[in-house]
Chains A and B, each alone.
Chain A
Amino acid sequence: MSEDVFIIGAGIHPFGRTPGLSGLQQGVFAVRQALERAGLAWRDVQFAFGGSDAAGNADTMVSELGLTSIPFINVANGCATGGSAMFGAYSTIKSGEFDLGLAVGFDKHPRGSFSPLPADWGLPDWYGETGLMLTTQFFAMKIQRYMSLYGITPHTLGAVAEKAFANGVLADHAWRREAVDMDTILHSQMVSDPLTKFMFCSPGEGAVALLLASGRKARELGLPAVRLRAAAVRTRPPGSFEVFSPALDLERGGSPTSVASQAAYDMAGVGPEDIDIAQLQDTEAGAEIMHMAENGFCADGEQTAWIAEGRTRIDGSLPVNTDGGCLACGEPIGASGLRQVYENYVQLIGQAGARQAPGRLRLGYSHVYGAPGVSAVAIVER
């Protein structure tokens, strides 16, 4: 019988830009905050998984946190770094090897878009040289086709961004904390048609730390806890449409998100209709729309009505991206997936402050997606 796994504490370094602190230092800040809120000390932590995409080696934070000789495993898994760190911590506790551990993710990216090198992604130089290797183009072309197939309009894209910034105003860890109106969103600079500047998130900075414990340990500590019912990381199936693809198979298939989502529902023994709150990858406004369907919450095309009716707002029937998501928080790659789990944790234990979703929240769902086609889904239960 494998162990139940609980999240018993969480810390966050505010997202955005913090010129005085390295990404690693923001990671240390998040770990200290998680420990302090839980009333625990670093010496109580038996193991750690952590990582960043561009801000250094997580395990070097022991020089600041304390030389307790614990195993500290660095995770480098691109956009799924945070999700993979949590999966590592989850599996370790589930196996019974340890009963209290840490998952930490942090990052610090320079301004502007990411600048990937073709060789790092197994692609020829010409693909980058001729201006085809941009994540923004991929997201724009995925939603462009989706809008054409399912009759979704730019107004629905704008409504998603408007909601994100409205939620960000209420989230003390968000980067963008000013509301942006629909007109401004729709008429801001076009970045990659049909997506404007305010429909895209920006690479940024931030850090998140989660403390995970076995059921026995969680009961012993008596802290506010949520049970991690599922943690699934999945790579792309045949026929998916991914970032950095010079060509796509004619026969279209599922997505890493649909596969990870199904795996997580199976692990948890629940379905999308049971979920009370969701944090979905919103690299841009269209991604949130498509991911609502890929994660099973609605059928393709139903998003127009869902969003017009406000069903994904904080006071709606399925609040989505209650802290403003990537659009309001920015995207520090290593921290982004853990921020979603942090948000579900504080929502489920009723400590989300001004952005607290109403009613009893039992099941929280989080989904991160990134290059070159990887998704991580977690389901937590209060």
Chain B
Amino acid sequence: MPDTLPVPIADGLICPETEGNALFASRERATNRLCFPARPEDDPRYERVLLPRTGRLWSWTIQRFRPKSPPYAGPEAFEPYAVGYVDLDGALIVEGRLVDVAFDDLAIGMAMRVVPLPFEMTDGTLRTSFGFAPDKGVGA
């Protein structure tokens, strides 16, 4: 991960070699089934894989009130945010925040890509989480 990105919010979540633009998953060797988040790397039943970086919005909503803490660890000041599931090209449908998009522009089927998401914790420290942003290079 480049110096500009804060420490990841969890290990084994975001691939550091992709500048935060790809997520890890695990493939169960026996069934080929993918699971996210990735299993611990030392679990011999799974192999670690990278999920596709792009996909289509599968569903979405807007979180209009501040979630309770715990478990929420964001800042006290609250701004509504978008959440959605993105069907990552032929692999898995993954949930995450939707960023760089006006709420009114959200539409099921729109092209999205994985992006790193700086996340401010309650104590003011920054971590890198992930989100999905419109993939402008692809037509809807």
A-B complex is real:
yes
Residues on A close to B: CB < 8 A? 112-113, 115-118, 124-134, 137, 140-142, 144-145, 148, 189-194, 245-250
B81: chain A residues within 8 A (beta carbon): 131
Q: Which of B9, B25, B59, B60 has the most CB of A within 10 A?
A: B59
| Contact status of A131 and B59, CB under 8 A, knowing A126-B129, A141-B84, A247-B36 | no
Pick the residue among B10, B64, B87 that contacts A250 (CB under 8 A). B87
Interface string of B59-91 (1 = CB under 8 A from A): 111111101111111100000010111010011
| Contact status of A193 and B13, CB under 8 A, knowing A128-B70, A134-B67 | no
| Contact status of A116 and B71, CB under 8 A, knowing A125-B10, A130-B129 | yes
B71: chain A residues within 8 A (beta carbon): 115-118, 125, 127-129, 133
Q: Is the CB of B61 within 8 A of A144?
A: yes
Pick the residue among A116, A126, A249 that contacts B9 (CB under 8 A). A126
Is the CB of B108 closer than 8 A to any CB of chain A?
yes
15 A–B contact pairs at CB < 8 A?
A: A129-B9, A129-B72, A130-B72, A131-B81, A133-B72, A134-B63, A137-B61, A141-B59, A141-B84, A148-B59, A191-B64, A193-B61, A194-B61, A247-B94, A249-B34
Q: Which of A125, A127, A132, A148 has the most CB of B within 10 A?
A: A132
Pick the residue among B25, B93, B103 that contacts A248 (CB under 8 A). B93
Instruction: Classify chain B: how many residues form its interface, as a range.
Output: 35 or more
Q: Is the CB of A113 within 8 A of B10?
A: no
B90: chain A residues within 8 A (beta carbon): 250
A250: chain B residues within 8 A (beta carbon): 87, 90-93
Q: Which residue of A lies closest to B93 (CB)?
A: A248
Q: Is the CB of A247 within 8 A of B92?
A: yes
Interface string of B86-124 (1 = CB under 8 A from A): 010011111111000001000010000000000101000
Alpha-carbon gap, A115 to B71, bound state (A): 7
Alpha-carbon gap, A124 to B8, bound state (A): 13
Q: Shortest CB–CB separation between residue B30 and chain A, in angstroms? A: 14
Alpha-carbon gap, A191 to B66, bound state (A): 10
A130: chain B residues within 8 A (beta carbon): 9, 72-74, 97, 119, 129
Q: Which residue of B lies closest to A120 (CB)?
A: B71
Alpha-carbon gap, A328 to B35, bound state (A): 38
Q: Shortest CB–CB separation between residue B52 and chain A, in angstroms? A: 11
Alpha-carbon gap, A137 to B36, bound state (A): 19
A116: chain B residues within 8 A (beta carbon): 71
A193: chain B residues within 8 A (beta carbon): 60-62, 64, 103
| Contact status of A144 and B92, CB under 8 A, knowing A131-B72, A137-B83 | no
Q: Shortest CB–CB separation between residue B32 and chain A, in angstroms? A: 11
Q: Shortest CB–CB separation between residue B76 and chain A, in angstroms? A: 13
Alpha-carbon gap, A133 to B71, bound state (A): 8
Alpha-carbon gap, A206 to B87, bound state (A): 40
Q: Is the CB of B10 within 8 A of A131?
A: no
Q: Which of A134, A142, A247, A249 has the most CB of B within 10 A?
A: A247
| Contact status of A113 and B58, CB under 8 A, knowing A124-B10, A126-B10, A130-B119 | no
B119: chain A residues within 8 A (beta carbon): 129-130
Interface string of B13-27 (1 = CB under 8 A from A): 100000000000100
Pick the residue among A112, A140, A189 that contacts B61 (CB under 8 A). A140
| Contact status of A189 and B63, CB under 8 A, knowing A117-B71, A125-B10, A145-B58 | no
Q: Which residue of B lies closest to A238 (CB)?
A: B33
A132: chain B residues within 8 A (beta carbon): 83, 95-97
Q: Is the CB of B61 within 8 A of A247?
A: no
| Contact status of A131 and B93, CB under 8 A, knowing A145-B59, A148-B108, A246-B37 | no
Q: Which of A192, A245, A250 has the most CB of B within 10 A?
A: A250
A247: chain B residues within 8 A (beta carbon): 25, 34-37, 92-95
Pick the residue among B59, B61, B93, B97 that contacts A249 (CB under 8 A). B93
Top 4 closest pairs, chain A to chain B, by CB: A128-B71, A140-B61, A129-B73, A247-B36
Interface string of B29-59 (1 = CB under 8 A from A): 0000111110000000000000000000011
Q: Which residue of B lies closest to A195 (CB)?
A: B61
Q: Is the CB of B65 within 8 A of A191?
A: yes
Sample of 10 more A-B contacts, CB < 8 Å, known A193-B62, A247-B34 = A115-B69, A127-B37, A128-B71, A131-B67, A132-B97, A134-B63, A141-B59, A142-B59, A144-B108, A246-B95
Alpha-carbon gap, A118 to B65, bound state (A): 19
A245: chain B residues within 8 A (beta carbon): 95
Alpha-carbon gap, A194 to B108, bound state (A): 13
A144: chain B residues within 8 A (beta carbon): 59-61, 108
Q: Which residue of A lies closest to B58 (CB)?
A: A145
Alpha-carbon gap, A219 to B72, bound state (A): 55
Q: Which residue of A lies closest to B23 (CB)?
A: A247
